[in-house]
Each structure stands twice: as structure tokens, then as C-alpha cells.
Amino acid sequence: MLKPLHWSRHDRKWVNLFLFPALFFVLFIQAGPLFYSIYLSFQDWILLSSGSPQGFVGLTNFKNATSDPVFIQSLKFTGFLTITTVPFQLLLGTLLAFLASGQSRFLQMSRALLVLPMVVAPVAIGTLWRLMFNDTAGPINNHFLNFLNLSGPLWLGDPFWAKIAIVIIEIWQWTPFVFIVISSAITMVPQEILQAAQVDGASRLQIFYKIELPLLAPAFLLVIMFRTLESLLTLDSILSLTHGGPGSSTVNMTYAIYNKGLREFDLGAASAQSWMFMLVATVLIFVIFKLTIKSEKKTL
């Protein structure tokens, strides 16, 4: 194992000096607004009523959030969205990555096509799926389910099916991300190890479980981390497809905060909710991050 690189005392001085301007900007640009939002979360400030904060209100904004039915509903839907989309994306993306690995022209073309959903503008995706989910004229109900002799649901008019519609879009749009990362990780698996296992008489399934899967673990954890975070931050598909409806059934935390801050202009409440959201996200990401480090150590 290689020893970590260490700077000499002389070099360290110069490194710190060169690092300082960048650190200053990062602190100023990133930490500045963060600290300001902490300050705002304890203030009463509705921008439409006043141009400046109206005074310290203690934990009121946090307390109000915990008793706000829409915010509580948004917590539930955020959890539902993450739990339902991330495993599916992981499973499908991995499956596709293995199926599309290879050098033939057909596989190369398949890989390019499979990535397409990820590069379409989110608003266009919302509009596209809105047409697809149209319960009378949309192809899902009108052609696909009709062909199977099934009557399709009111996709966007029913709270349960509206949630499922968002889940479908998220899986469709972001499975390609998992596909790309896992595909590139597969190419990094040393061929010699696989060939040695084959020579030793291991089956394809054994090779996958005993060799490829452990070697791909860091990539999986990376994907889980990114997808979990992105899933918590979902906004565009909700905004373009359901606007959080019907009622508040598809309001997630990001949408709830967006509403509070940029529609109600209640900057104090929006800041408090943002910090609550950040706490949840940080805990989740910290756990995944720890798992990633553990898995990387194991692989090395």
C-alpha cells in the first residue's frame, strides 16, 4: 500500500498561501448565504410585507414547520420518492449496464440511446409525460393499457397515481445516470481476475456475486449517494407535471420550501424549513459517505 503524500513544512506555507484566495471565495460565496439563512430562520420576515427582517422569533419558524400539514406531508412524500426510486434506478441501471457491456456496434448504439432521457430538458420531460399520462388521449391508457384490456387510472387526478407518475418519471429519467456510472465501473474491473476465476471453474453468477459486485461496491455507493441526494432535491418533474397536486399529495420538501420562500415570500419560515431539510439530507449522506469509505478500504 502506498504511503499518503506529505508536504514539507516549507512547502506547506506556500500551499496555504496559494489556497487562501480560493478558500476565501468558497467561504464568502458558500458559507455567507448559509450563515445568513441561519440568521433568517430565527427571524420574522415576509418579503411582501417588509423589505427587512421584522425581529427575532426564536424557534417559532421551526415549531410552525412541524405543525404545518403540508410540510409534514412533504416529508412523507420525499421519503416515499427516495425509497421507491433509488432502488429501482439502481437495479435497472445495473441490469442495463451488464446487458449493454461489450464492443459491438449495436451495443455502442444502445448505450448512446439509453443515456438520452438524462439529457432531455426537465421541463420538456414534464410536458412529454403529461401528454403520455393523459387519461383519455394519452398513449399509456389509450393504447398500452387498452391493448391489455385494462382501464387506466386518472394518472394526474388521483393522489396515489399522481405519486406513481412522479416515481415513473424519476426512474425513467435517472436510470441512465446509474447506467453510465456502473458501465464505466464495469470496464475498470481487471479482466485477468475474471479470466482467472473462469479458469478456476466459477460460474457466471458466482463471478458476478463474488468478484464483480464487491469490486463495483464503491461505484454503487457513489450512485446511491448522488441519487439519494438528487431524489431529495427533486423539483422539476413535480413542478412541470403536478404542481404538488392533486391537493398536496405530491408536494415534497423541496417544493414545500420553494412555495414558502418564492411564492409566499415567507423567508424566515423557508430558511427554517431549509435547515430542517439540510439536517435530514446531511445525516443520510453522512451514513452513505461512511459506507463508501468503508467499502473503498475493503476493496484496497
Partner 1 sequence: MKRKVRISTAGTALICALALAAIGVPNSSLAAGKFEGKKITANFMASGTYDKAAAEVKTTFEAATGATVEIVAKPFDQLVQANLTDLATGTGQYDVISVTSWEADVYDKLLPLDTFIKKDNYGKEAGFIPGLLRPNQGTEYYDGKPVGVPYAIDGYAMLVRKDLLAKANVSWNWKTWPEFFSAMNKLKKTLPTTVSPFVFAYGATEQVPAIWLSAYDGYLLKKNGTYGLQTTQMVTALNVVKKSLKYAPSNAKALSIDEANQVFLNGNAAVVMGWPSFIRAAADNPAKSKVVGKWALSSIPGPGMVWLSAWNLGIAKTSKNPEAAWEFIKTYINEKNATTWMASLGIGSPFLNTFKGADAKAKHGHDYPQHADNLEAVKNAPWSFSAFLDVYSRGTGDFLSGKLTAIQTVQSWDKQLGKKKPAAGMIEAAKSSGLMEE
Min dist CB 253 to partner 1, Å, is 15
Stretch that binds partner 1, among 7-15, 30-38, 205-213, 242-250 (CB under 8 A): 242-250
Torsion of CA 258, 264, 269, 270, to 10 degrees: 20
Q: Is 263 in the site for partner 1 (CB under 8 A)?
A: yes
Q: Is 259 in the site for partner 1 (CB under 8 A)?
A: yes
Stretch that binds partner 1, among 22-30, 65-73, 104-112, 172-180 (CB under 8 A): 65-73
Output the CA–CA distances (angstroms, integers) from residue 217 to 90, 144, 181, 226, in the order listed.
12, 37, 12, 14
Output the CA–CA distances (angstroms, integers) from residue 278 to 161, 251, 273, 283, 289, in the order listed.
28, 17, 8, 9, 16
Q: Identify which of residues 15 and 262 has a Cβ nearer to partner 1 in the complex.
A: 262
Q: Is 100 in the site for partner 1 (CB under 8 A)?
A: no
Single-letter amino acid, residue 294: K
185 with 219: CB under 8 angstroms?
yes
Q: Is 135 in the site for partner 1 (CB under 8 A)?
A: yes
Give the separation between CA 217 and CA 209, rounded to whole angstroms: 11
Taking the mean position of all CA atoms in its chain, how far away is CA 98?
22
Q: Is 248 in the site for partner 1 (CB under 8 A)?
A: yes
Which stretches of 156-266 are DSSP H helices? 159-188, 191-199, 204-206, 213-232, 236-241, 253-262
Q: Identify which of residues 79 and 246 has a Cβ nearer to partner 1 in the complex.
A: 246
Min dist CB 135 to partner 1, Å, is 5
Instruction: Give the cell for residue 128.
Output: 412529454
Min dist CB 137 to partner 1, Å, is 9
Among 53, 62, 70, 229, binds partner 1 (CB under 8 A): 70
Q: Is 247 in the site for partner 1 (CB under 8 A)?
A: yes
Q: Is 52 in the site for partner 1 (CB under 8 A)?
A: no
Give the separation between CA 277 and CA 279, rounded to whole angstroms: 5
Min dist CB 255 to partner 1, Å, is 11
Among 31, 34, 112, 262, binds partner 1 (CB under 8 A): 262
Q: Would you give the DSSP letter of residue 43? A: B
Stretch that binds partner 1, among 7-15, 84-92, 178-186, 259-267 (CB under 8 A): 259-267
Taking the mean position of all CA atoms in its chain, how far away is CA 43?
30
For residues 141 to 170, the per-residue mask of contacts with partner 1, x marking binding by CB under 8 A and - elsewhere, is: -------------xxxxxx-----------
Helix (H, G, I), strand (E, B) or coil at 266: strand
Q: Identify which of residues 46 and 118 has a Cβ nearer to partner 1 in the complex.
A: 46
Min dist CB 121 to partner 1, Å, is 16
Q: Is 264 in the site for partner 1 (CB under 8 A)?
A: yes
Nearest to 284 by CA among 216, 233, 228, 221: 228
Q: Would you give the DSSP letter of residue 197? A: H
In the complex, which residues of this chain contact partner 1 (CB under 8 A)?
Answer: 47-49, 51, 68-70, 134-136, 154-159, 243-249, 251, 259, 262-266
